[in-house]
Amino acid sequence: MAVQISPSILSADFARLAEAAAAVPNADWLHVDVMDNHFVPNLTLGLPVVESLLKATSLPLDCHLMIEDPDRWAPAYAEAGAGSVTIHAEAAKAPVRTLREIRAAGARAGLALNPATPVEPYEDLLGEIDMLLLMTVEPGFGGQRFLDMVLPKIRRSRELIDAHGGRLWLQVDGGVSEHTIERCAEAGADVFVAGNAVYGADDPAHAVDVLRSVAGK
């Protein structure tokens, strides 16, 4: 499937989110990191901000929930109109039910795995999801260094997805830049979240183009 670039507004100016969205018209999705200061040691934004952003941009919102109780909150993001809603395997208590509720509300359902969480125990969930998100840093903050140790898991996940046969996105998130994106693409990822590499650049739209061309090589 074609490469998708999903700039993360975590690295943008939170007082100017509409402008941050408008700065990347060539992006495919806009990545929104929801953090609750419990699942991760950082606090960002929630449903009201997502609802406002939905009115401010036509880019599909790619909502990544780093929260302790995704079963309770995830369906509301899908109902609000998010393009995708991703929950963490480490946090969900009823992932099958929650993923089905996300899909029933019309969003892509995503499952995220932290760097140290293996993919094999979740193989049976592949039929319930539209996207697998592999964290390539410990979740919580932008601007961290890409963890090469996740590359074998990206490869393994690609094999499992191909064997499964469904149309499933494989997303990587954390430390993705023009220097690391090629490794991820070679290993089989096709959706690339980038915070610092896009919003830390002088020209965010140009940064999106660069990422897309390096990933597509």
Q: What is the DSSP letter of 126?
A: G
| Per-residue mark of binding to ligand DX5, 115-144 (x: CB under 6 A) | ----------------------x-xxxxxx
Q: Which is the catalytic residue, given 28, 33, 62, 130?
A: 33
**What residue number has its CB nearest to ligand DX5?**
195
List binders of Zn ion among 88-147 (CB under 5 A): none
Contacts of 131 (CB under 8 A, 6+ apart): 84, 86, 108, 109, 110, 111, 168, 169, 170, 171, 191
Question: Catalytic: 33?
Answer: yes
* Residue 68 contacts ligand DX5 per CB under 6 A: no
Q: Is residue 196 left, alpha or beta, with left meaning phi > 0 and alpha meaning psi from -120 to 50?
A: alpha
Q: Which of 63, 173, 207, 208 binds ligand DX5 (CB under 6 A)?
A: 173
Token couple for 92: 């969900």
Number of residues this chain uses to bind ligand DX5 (CB under 6 A): 22
* Residue 173 contacts Zn ion per CB under 5 A: yes
Token couple for 130: 């539209």
Token couple for 70: 């995704």
Is 140 marked within a binding site? yes
Measured CA distances, 186 to 90, 95, 194 (Å): 27, 29, 17
For residue 124, how many C-alpha atoms fall within 13 Å in the half-sphere facing its CB? 3
Yes or no: say if 31 and 7 are a contact pair by the CB < 8 Å rule: yes
Is 143 marked within a binding site? yes
Is 216 marked within a binding site? no
The interface partner of residue 142, options being ligand DX5, Zn ion, none and the CB cut-off 5 to 8 Å by kind, is ligand DX5
Question: Catalytic: 162?
Answer: no
* Residue 196 contacts ligand DX5 per CB under 6 A: yes
Residues near Zn ion, by CB under 5 A: 33, 64, 173
Catalytic (active-site) positions: 33, 173
Binding region for a divalent metal cation: 31, 33, 64, 173
